[in-house]
Amino acid sequence: MKQALMNEKENSKAIEFYLLIHANELAKASNTGQLLKDLSVPLSIGEWSRVKEPVDLMNRIKSPAHKVVLVFPSEFATYQQDTGISQPEKQPVTTYVLIDGTWQQARKIYRKSPYLHQLPLEFLNVDRKSVYTLRRNQQEKGLCTAEVAACILEQEGLLDESDILMQKLVSFCENFHSKSPATA
């Protein structure tokens, strides 16, 4: 039995999240990226800048030990290029880059960051309504950062982690609404 558990662990795919966060999001109480901090999946956070690429993300992109993919809606990924650079399938770690900000901020970050245009896109086939209700101007079929992470966890077979994150998100939204009738 111990050997079976060891083999299962050896065969499991290692993943991590990288949040590329807009500076305005850092201070918002309604930001759901913070919910990823308690997951067992490694998390790195980099503050986006128009003039400086995030060094830690660039190191991952250049590393043969990482397969770095951008999770972003394809309809907004207008600058995405096929770089001709193929990444071997057997990298030990898949890094999922999530742009953490409002939809307007996320599109701006994407447009102004050519290094993101070189990354393969990860498509999420999700047909669920968002449970996130804390902001005005919420896009139809638009998911918050925590929901996107939960979808990735589910897609990777980490169902318990996905369920825990979604439970935290529902509780987060309920608590936020109970403290303040206004939305952020």
* Whether pLDDT at 21 is above 90: yes
Q: What is the pTM of this model?
A: 0.81
Copy the structure tokens of residue 128.
């669920």
**pLDDT given at position 114:** 92
Percentage of the chain beyond pLDDT 70 is 72
| In 123-158, alpha helices (H) | 145-155
Where residue 47 falls among pLDDT bands split at 50, 70, 90? very high
Specify the pLDDT at position 9: 38
* Tens digit of each residue's pLDDT (9 = 90 or more) over 125-160: 677 677 766 666 555 567 889 999 999 999 999 999
Per-residue pLDDT, 91: 63
Q: What is the 3-state secondary structure (H, E, C) of 45-103?
A: EEECCCCCCCHHHHHHHHCCCEEEEEECCHHHCCCCCCCCCCCCCCCCEEEEEEEECCH
